[in-house]
Amino acid sequence: MTIDCDGNRQWVGFRQFRFNVWWLSVLLVSVTLICMPDSSYACSPPRVTTYLKKLGFDPSSKEITSIANDNVNGITLKSLVSRRDETGVRRFIATRNFIHKYTKDTTTAFPPATLYDVQYLTPRDQKFIMIQIQKAFGVPPKNQASLK
């Protein structure tokens, strides 16, 4: 039921209701697709791309796009860029790229200590690295079941 501008009540027919629901659905899907986070920093606000370029990173490179959606305890690449934290940005990029490579190939070398920062590892990442190091030194892991 609707009320027109004269204050009269009118019943909305089923077809009109169905048509409005269809348009509402199209609108919601469109807004969702437009507002979805994109993994490419090439489409990021100019401040983000400018700052990454200033630090010597290509915002559309695999090095950046592969970690674009990483979130470690509320810390993201965008949040570090917005704070203009140069050291944090460099460490986040190095650490997150390392862990992505290390989970695929455990022979991947650790980055230099000046770039590697454990605060950019999730607890799951830390546990995985600990287990791999224990295996490398022949120490039996205590609890692998909690990793799954």
Q: What angle do CA 126, 75, 58 make, to 5 degrees?
A: 100
120-136 pLDDT, tens digit each = 999 999 999 988 888 88
53-88 pLDDT, tens digit each = 999 998 889 999 899 889 998 999 998 988 988 999
How far, in Å, are 20, 103, 130 from residue 109 at the CA level?
A: 58, 12, 15
Q: How many domains does the chain have?
A: 2
The pTM of this model reads 0.63
Please tell me whether residues 18 and 67 are part of one structural domain.
no
Please tell me whether residues 121 and 138 are part of one structural domain.
yes
Please tell me whether residues 57 and 9 are part of one structural domain.
no
Please tell me whether residues 15 and 83 are part of one structural domain.
no
